[in-house]
Each structure stands twice: as C-alpha cells, then as structure tokens.
Amino acid sequence: MCGIVAYIGSREAYPIILKGLQRLEYRGYDSAGVALLDKKLEIYKKKGKVAELEASLVGKNLHAQAGIGHTRWATHGEPSDRNAHPHRSSSGKLAMVHNGIIENFAPIKKELVSKGYVFESDTDTEVLLHFIEDIYKHDAKSLEEAVRIALKRIVGAYVIILLDQDHPDTLIAARKGSPLVIGIGKNEHFLASDASPIIEYTKEVVYINDYEMAIVKPDELILKNPGNERITPFITKLDMELAAIEKGGYDHFMLKEIFEQPTAVFDCLRGRLDPKAGTIRMGGIDKHLDLLKEAKRIILVGCGTSWHAGLLAEYVFEELCRIPVEVEYASEFRYRNPVIHPGDVIIAISQSGETADTLVALENAKKQGAFIFGVVNVVGSSIARLSQAGAYTHAGPEIGVASTKAFTAQLTVLYLIAMKLGFAKSAITKERYLHLINELALIPEKINEVLRKADDIKILAEKYKDARDFLFLGRGYNFPIALEGALKLKEISYIHAEGYPAAEMKHGPIALVEEGLPIVFVATKDAYHEKLVSNAQEIKARKGKVLAIITENDTIFHEIADETIAVPAADEILAPLLSVVPLQLLAYYTGLAKGLDVDKPRNLAKSVTVE
Ligand code: F6R
C-alpha cells in the first residue's frame, strides 16, 4: 500500500519519478506528490490520481537531479492535498515519503506538540518527520544518525525516504515491514516499492531487508544495520521485461491479465509437469518431501483471493493427500493464539509476498516451530524470503488491482503440490495421478477456449449491470469459485454480491431471492451436479434469474438456466481453473459497462502492507 519512488543521479528526476508513480499507482491512488531538490526543495502534491498531479504541474520548472515521489492509499487522515506526501519538516529543509503505519505516533506527537511543533496534516508520517528533525537538531551529528535514533522508538511498518536541502547529493532510506528495492545505475540510483519503475533503466537491484538503512548518493550505495555497521549490498539481476508491466494493446491491465492466464498457467507448469514421463518435479517439494509427507496437518494461510485459493486447496489436499487441512484468514490467524505444533506445515499463499497480515502470521507460526512453505508470485518478496521452502507461481507481474492470473497460477501450484504429495504418500493410485497430470497439461488450451467466449460474457454483463445485488453459488470444488466470483464483482463493479455454498441457501439466504435477482451458479459437472440442479430449481421457483457456468453439452442446466456460459469438460478437481475465468470476465465487463476504473477500484490498493 502506497507506492514510493526516488531518484538521484545526473538525469532529470521528475520524469523518472512521474513514470515510476504511474507504474506504482496500483498500490494506492488517493493522492500523489513529488519533492524535487535543485537548490531549493520544492514539494508538489495533489489529491487524486497521478494524472491529476501531472496536469497540475504542466508549465512549471521542475528541473532537479534528486527527488522523491509518493502515491497514497490513505491510512491516517482523509485523502486530501494536505495529507498527501511528501511531507515537509518544520525547518522546511527536509522532505519525506512513507509507506506503512506508525502505530505509536500518538505519544510521539504529544511530545512534539509540547515542544511547540505545529502539524499541517493528520498523518503519522508528519509525526515521524518532525521527530527525526527534532533529533537531528538536538541529539545527532547527521541526518543518518537522527533517522537511526528515531526508528529505534518507532513501532509499526515503514519504508521512508528523506531528501535534505542541505545535502542534495544524498537520499536516506530505511525499511521495516514494507518493501524497498534500489536500482543501481551508472552514477545514479533508483529507489522504489517494487522493480517496475526501475527496469527500464537498470536490471541490477538490491532488495533492502527489514531494519536496514540505505545512504544513497549518485555514485555510492551504503547499507547499514541498526548497529551502524556496514553491510555489503547483495546485487540481484532482475528477471523481468518492460513489456510485462505494460498494457500491450489491452484497454486495461485486468483484461490483459485475464487473457494472460493460458500463458501464466503454462509458465507455472513448465519444467515441473511432464505428461510424457508422468512426473511432477518441484525443487521446493523434492527437497523436503519426507517432512511434507509426515506432516500431521497443513494450514493454508492467505487473504482475499489468495485465501480463496487456500480454501479450494483444502478440498484438494484432503482429497488427494488425506492430510487434515485448515485454511485461515491471515488477519485472524495472527491474533487468535492458534495451536501450532512443531512439524505443522503452513502453506502461505500470496501474490505480492508483502501482505502485512500474512507476513506477521507466518513470523508467529515460524517462531512456534511450524515449517513455512511459500506459494508466492513476486520473486524476492518478504514472504518468499521468510519461507523455508516454496514454489513460485511464475504468473509475471500482476498490476490490475483485482487478482486474476495470480489466482489461477496459485491454484496450479497448489494442484501440483497436492498431486505430487498425494502420490508420494500413496494416497492416490498411479492411474489417478497420471490422469490428473494429463488433465492439468490440457488446462492452458481449455482456458483459451473459455476466453473465446469473452464477447458473450460482455453481452451478459451489459444486460445485468444495473442489478443491485448478485448471489454466487457453488458446491464442493466450485464453492470457493463462487466466493471468488462474488469478490471480483464487488471489487470491480461495486455491486453487492455474496457467495454461498448452494445448499446453504435454504438455511437463510434464500430469503433474499426475489423476482429478477441474478444468481450465478458455478455448475460445472461434478459429483454434486444433480444436487445443484435441485438448488437451481428452488431459485427458479422463486423467480430468481439463473446465470450458470456449465460444462459443454450440459443439457439439463441449459434448460433450467436463463443464461449459460459453457466451459470445456475437465476433471472435477481441476474444473475451477476454467469456471473462474467467465466470472473474472463478468466482473470486468460489468465494471466497464458502468464506466468504472476497473484497474483502480475505489478504496483498494494492490499490495496491502498495512494491517
Ligand atoms: C482481490 C485481491 C485481494 C488479494 C489480497 C491478498 O482481487 O487482489 O483480495 O488477493 O489482498 O493479496 P496477496 O495475494 O498479495 O497476499
């Protein structure tokens, strides 16, 4: 949440920062701002999206070779010009951007107020900035030292970057709990929340770790630990191309990412699934196979869409591996003192690898002796680094705020793990194992077939776009997909939507059904199919509109439903990889038909780095 970007070197800083903010806008878009340092420190900031900041700066002299920028997801203080970052210190000489939350801002603010500090915003960031400046004025020999002293008192999560008018050749940055990557150029450095603002200039980057501080000059990067000792920066080569973070001819990232799913799933299977040999190879599993086979329990932890992937994996692991599985919302798990035994395996699911709740839940479980296995998309992210083993999802950068291809890639990895483990434990027969391997290999092409129905789904979306509510129902493997379909629609179209197990309807929610209420049945053919047919009849009897995702040639559902979208037949365990795709498209086209910004839905940010 919140994107930060900074530059120091010999180029013009503003265009680099502006482009960087546009790339990081998925992290928040309540306001945007830049601080530029030529001889004097100038700060420009504006409520709203980066484009509004850009428009407000046309015609201004923005010459500077050092600068910091910020795109905000509001935590402390409403979205407004005055709460926008960068903030300026009371001497006027320091500017700071911050991503995270300072939890103990209140007592520090009280102290500062008693010393006569005046606050211009409602943010915790301004408190930290005044605190740093106060220490700089009275107790420290340098800004670097002042930052170090201040951070020792801070409780919370942060990445901060400071610009000092008196030292135009130095940026000071520090991190705990929020991400920071530094790109190394020739006599220049680029700092950002992720690599997307950097890749166009350099592929050499350093991922900053928690509690590290960076003193960044055009020609030097000094890293230090809290004890003021120098650390050797570990330089990594970025494995990402610029095209991966551009729209590539699509109107929105969300649509591009939905259409990238055949490739994302294929990339995820590549080098792992070998249908000819009938094998699944995964380094992270092979290395720890005995430990995983012996696991008494698997706990799947995630948030939002990643939690939905976990819920489906619960069904799949129990079916294929016969290991007891629990699935937990990270935000609940981290606070409710769960019983964890050494030897419990925790599978952490996260696209960004930076979700604060998931990260802390894992840290806690690791301390209690659990083994952490990460299923993460962003390489080198905090959750990936905290995990003791893992398997990347290889979906490529996901920029649309609503998760799509990361979800199908998460499912793909989780299927691979469950199949491999189930076979290794002899919980499934060789025949079933080989059948699933062959079926999984066919999924990318089958997703392509579903995508060919995009125009039909668009028509459906336009027809139902004015509905006030939607229900999504499914059973078994399709129940988590019903939840995911409802979440996608809420996020992107702001239509109220709920997902339920279809059989739960008669225990309460059926009271909601009235004439015309659209109810989406995720009804691909499986063991529950006949039951679902009865559930759909119950809805029809109450004049609800039945929209169904069905398997091709399903004549029964075709007759009951008002609208159907057919997907190719697949093994019932794997069918969710197909049935989720029309629901993603339904959400996308509904948002589009309502004229909404589907890549940046209101109030949301992609990477939830605050709790
Ligand atoms: C929904 C969505 C969110 C994320 C959730 C977890 O479309 O994107 O619900 O799934 O915030 O994020 P990660 O997977 O990055 O931990």
Distance 606 CA to ligand 1 centre (A): 7
β-strand partners of 391: 375
| 350: alpha, beta or left? (left if phi > 0; alpha if psi -120 to 50) | beta
**Which atom of ligand 1 is closest in space to residue 307's alpha carbon?**
10
Structure tokens at 116: 């006569």
- Average pLDDT value for the chain: 95
Which is nearest to 468 in space by CA: 518, 505, 509?
518
Strand stretches in 153-263, DSSP E: 156-164, 171-176, 181-184, 189-192, 204-207, 213-217, 220-224, 230-231, 235-237
Count CA atoms closer than 13 A to 93's CA, side-chain side: 12
Question: What pLDDT does 264 receive?
Answer: 96
Give 82 Cα–ligand 1 centroid separation in angstroms.
Answer: 29
CA-410 nearest atom, ligand 1: 14
Q: Is the pLDDT of residue 246 over 90?
A: no
Q: Catalytic site residue 606?
A: yes
Pairing of strands 213-217, 171-176: antiparallel
**In the prediction, which pLDDT does 391 show?**
96
Number of residues in the chain: 611
Res. 136 pLDDT band, cuts 50 70 90: very high
Ligand 1 within 6 A of CB of 331 = no
pLDDT tens-digit readout, 21-53: 999 998 889 999 999 999 999 999 999 999 999
Hunting for tokens 């109030």 — which residue is that?
603
pLDDT for the residue numbered 253 = 94
**Active-site position among 2, 268, 303, 321:** 2
Angle (deg, nearest 10), helices 479-493 and 304-321: 170
Q: Could you tell me the maximum CA-CA distance found in the chain, to the nearest angstrom?
A: 79
d(Cα 94, Cα 62) in Å, to the nearest integer?
18
Kindly state the percentage of the chain with pLDDT values over 90: 85
- Looking at the predicted structure, is the pLDDT value of residue 605 above 90? no
pLDDT above 80 for 359: yes
pLDDT in tens, 262-306: 999 999 999 999 999 999 999 999 999 999 999 989 999 999 999
Measured between alpha carbons, how far is 348 from 340 in angstroms, rounded to an integer? Answer: 15
Task: Look at residue 75 and tell me whether its pLDDT is greater than 90.
Answer: no
User: In the block, which residue shows the tokens 């039909």?
Assistant: 456
Closest CA to 415 of 257, 595, 578, 217: 578
Query: Does residue 303 line the site of ligand 1, with CB under 6 A?
Result: yes
- Least confident residue range of 141-150, 530-539, 563-572, 577-586: 530-539
User: N- to C-terminal Cα distance for the chain?
Assistant: 10
Residue with the bigger pLDDT between 26 and 253: it is: 253
What pLDDT sits at residue 498? 96
Is the CB of residue 78 less than 8 Å from the CB of residue 122? yes
C-alpha of residue 314 to centroid of ligand 1, in Å = 18
pLDDT of 494 higher than 80: yes
Give 5 Cα–ligand 1 centroid separation in angstroms. 22
pLDDT in tens, 142-180: 999 999 999 999 999 899 999 999 999 999 999 998 889
Query: Taking residues 194-217, what's their average pLDDT?
Result: 95
CA-based torsion, 437, 441, 443, 446: positive or negative:
negative
The active-site residue, picked from 46, 405, 446, 606, is 606
**Please, what sign has the CA dihedral across residues 131, 135, 136, 138?**
positive
* Predicted confidence (pLDDT) per residue in 341-357, tens digit: 888 999 999 999 999 89
Q: Find all residues with CB under 8 Å of 426, minimum gap 6, and list them.
A: none
The ligand 1 atom at the shortest distance from the C-alpha of residue 305 is 10
Under the banding of pLDDT at 50, 70 and 90, the label for residue 181 is very high
Helix axes 576-593, 405-424, angle to 10 degrees: 170
**Contact 358 CB / ligand 1 (< 6 Å):** yes
Res 220 pLDDT > 80 = yes
**Angstrom distance (rounded) from CA 504 to CA 483:** 13
Q: How far is CA 160 from CA 25, 150, 174, 399, in A?
A: 17, 12, 6, 23
610, pLDDT greater than 80: no
Contacts of 51 (CB under 8 A, 6+ apart): none
Q: Please tell me the pTM assigned to this model.
A: 0.86
Centroid of ligand 1 to alpha carbon of 119 (angstroms): 34
User: Which residues 6+ apart lie within 8 Å of 79 measured at CB?
Assistant: 30, 31, 47, 48, 72
> Which of 254, 301, 306 to mutate to test ligand 1, by most ligand atoms within 8 A of the CB atom?
306
CB 591 within 8 A of CB 18: no
Within 10 Å of residue 466's Cβ, how many Cβ atoms?
Answer: 10
Q: Which atom of ligand 1 approaches the CA of 406 most closely?
A: 14
Asked if pLDDT for residue 232 goes beyond 90, the answer is yes
User: Bridge-partner residues for 36, per DSSP?
Assistant: 42, 67
H-type helices in 345-501, by residue range? 356-367, 382-386, 405-424, 430-451, 454-464, 479-493
Contact 205, 240 (CB under 8 A): no
Which of 403, 414, 584 maximizes ligand 1 atoms within 8 Å of its Cβ, making it the mutation to test the pocket?
403
Nearest atom in ligand 1 to 308's CA: 10
Closest atom of ligand 1 to 355 CA is 16
**What whole-number distance in Å separates Cα of residue 60 and Cα of residue 160?**
26
Residue 244: its pLDDT value, please? Answer: 81
- What pLDDT score does 411 carry? 98
Q: How many CA atoms lie within 13 A of 100 on its CB side?
A: 27
Ramachandran class of 516: left when φ > 0, alpha when ψ lies in -120 to 50, beta otherwise: left
Residue nearest (by alpha carbon) to ligand 1 atom 9: 304
- The 8-class DSSP code of residue 39 comes to S
The residue to mutate among 351, 490, 492, having the most atoms of ligand 1 within 8 angstroms of its beta carbon, is: 351
Whether 189 contacts 9, CB under 8 Å:
yes
Classify residue 402 by its DSSP letter.
S
* pLDDT value, residue 518: 97
pLDDT at 248: 85
Asked if 2 is an active-site residue, the reply is yes
CA of 277 to the centre of ligand 1 (A): 35
- The pLDDT, as a whole number, for residue 606 is 74
More confident residue, 243 or 385: 385
Copy the structure tokens of residue 123: 């943010």
Task: Taking residues 537-542, report their average pLDDT.
Answer: 91
Helix and strand numbers, DSSP H then E, in the chain: 20, 27
Residue 607 pLDDT greater than 80, yes or no = no
Tell me the C-alpha distance between 271 and 66, whole Å: 44
